[in-house]
Amino acid sequence: MKRFEMKVAIVTGAGGGIGSAIARRLAAEGALVVVTDVNEGSAEEVASAIEKDGGAAAVIAADISRKEACFELIDRSFALTGRIDVLVNNAGINRRGNLLSLSDEDWKLSFTVNLDSMFHLCRATLPHMITAGGGAIVNTASQWGLYPAPNHIAYNTTKAAVAAFTQNLARDYAPEKIRVNAVCPGEIHTPMLEAGVKRSGRTIADLDKLVPFGRIGKPEEVAALVAFLASDEAAFMCGSLVEITGAQAVA
């Protein structure tokens, strides 16, 4: 399918597991993808892989924990491509711990990266989409933002806020034909998850047993859902929080 021919998509956190899969999926379907990540080397690797597969990509490294960097990213993207059809707010961090064990810095940084960056990026992008007559924004929330897992209070709370932000933004800008939705993944096999598994002393096989479907998810499966929500096939989906969990209850 080529659902994104002649369209431009910006993907944040595109150097990571889910983000790189999203960037590659949108590019495979014809989009010019602006691959952005705080790690420029990782972003370059993803862009090179896209181009090797015959797709189109541009790299803009950005530390979206800074308001100015968020606006600069959108300004540079628009100057480079002349349009912004899709914004995927995928970047995020996971600082573990309950309230008494979590540091002030981890709490503040979780909100800065997981929520504030989304606020700034959407604020910078919306005028372009309004002028163009519409667009699609897909945010990465989490199953844990809907059903909190223990000992992840900062992550859970920020992802719950992402879910609320998504629905509020959708209702405010649906009249402008700007569709805003969120994916809410469960356990997905990424480098971030592997690091957490090692710290816990568990294995991927242990996590697989907790999922009724028989295994945890793959980044490519989340990417397929994001691509659908960003496409015209999801033309009447706006304000949806779509879980992708293999029917797993919260771990």
Return d(Cα 81, Cα 107) in angstroms, integer: 36
**Backbone φ and ψ of 186, nearest 5°:** -90, -140
- Which of 4, 144, 155, 173 is an active site residue? 155
Collapsed DSSP state (helix, strand, coil) of residue 125? helix
Residues contacting residue 120 through CB under 8 Å, at least 6 positions apart: 64, 67, 70, 71
Residue 155 catalytic? yes
Distance CA 153, CA 145 (A): 10
If you search the block for the tokens 């573990």, which residue do you land on?
A: 96
Residue 69, SS3? helix
C-alpha distances (whole Å) from 182 to each of 203, 237, 238, 239 are: 28, 10, 9, 8
Residues with catalytic function: 155
